[in-house]
Amino acid sequence: MPGQRSITQAEKLAEAKLGGIPVRHEQMAVVANIYRAASAVRQHLENSVLRGADLTWTAFVVLWVVWVWGESETRHVAEEAGISKGTLTGVSRTLEKRGLIKRAGHPTDGRLVLLSLTEEGEELMRRVFPAFNEEEAFVTARLDDEDCRTVADGLRRVVLQVEEHGEERRLTLLDGAPPAPRRSGRRAQG
């Protein structure tokens, strides 16, 4: 199996490259495998259930959030779906065009936009989610329920660590230095 072997091998090669500087192997393996697993799972779900419903991963996540939470403000949906508000604007417009989502202004605060599923959207989710959950079970088939709880808990700790101390950590690292603007993306005006 190339997956595991290549990771181990890559770690050794990396250490050789660094010539004596110690590498935190276990931590590196966690991060590397989080990303590998995320890609593999996403790929599988897109190819098995989502493509048949003509949904991308992101579109499904957005639908799922709105479905489960009911009518919600866009900023909360973006937060929960793990995408930026700017991205959500585009995605929700696409879903609106397909008749799966409704967009409505907030009754009292004109700045807010509320998202909710149309009846067609509800129907789609009632049909697609069980299949989606079935594939979630497939990809985790080599873990029993106890293993799943352990892994999920470990991942939750990673998320919490970043959520609670990430900002502070970044400030410490940069140590007052300017936040280094992204090279890509919109440029500052003159």
Partner DNA sequence: TCCGTACAATTTGGGTGCGAACGACATCTG
Partner DNA sequence: CAGATGTCGTTCGCACCCAAATTGTACGGA
Choice between 14 and 104, CB closer to a second copy:
14
Contacts of 14 (CB under 8 A, 6+ apart): 23
Residue closest to 74 by CA, chosen among 93, 60, 56, 55:
93
Least distance between DNA and beta carbon 20 (Å): 31
Residues 20-39 close enough to bind DNA by CB under 7 A: 39
List the Cα angle 9/14/18 in 5-degree steps: 150
Helix count and strand count (H, E) for the chain? 7, 3
Amino acid letter, residue 3: G
Spatial distance between the Cα atoms of 99 and 90, rounded to a whole number of angstroms: 14
> Which among DNA, a second copy, none contacts residue 92 (Cβ within 5 to 8 A by kind)?
DNA
Residue 68 three-state SS: helix
Choice between 41 and 113, CB closer to a second copy:
41
- 19, 22, 176, 185: which one contacts DNA (CB under 7 A)? 185
- 5, 17, 111, 142: which one contacts DNA (CB under 7 A)? 111
Give the burial class of 20: count Cβ atoms within 10 A of its Cβ; 0-12 exposed, 13-18 middle, 19 or more buried: exposed
Choice between 85 and 169, CB closer to DNA:
85
Q: Taking CB under 8 A as the rule, does residue 42 contact a second copy?
A: yes
Residues 57-116 close enough to bind a second copy by CB under 8 A: 67-69, 80, 82
Judged by the rule CB under 7 A, the positions of this chain that interact with DNA are: 39, 43, 46-47, 56-59, 73-75, 78, 82-92, 94, 103, 108-113, 179, 181-189
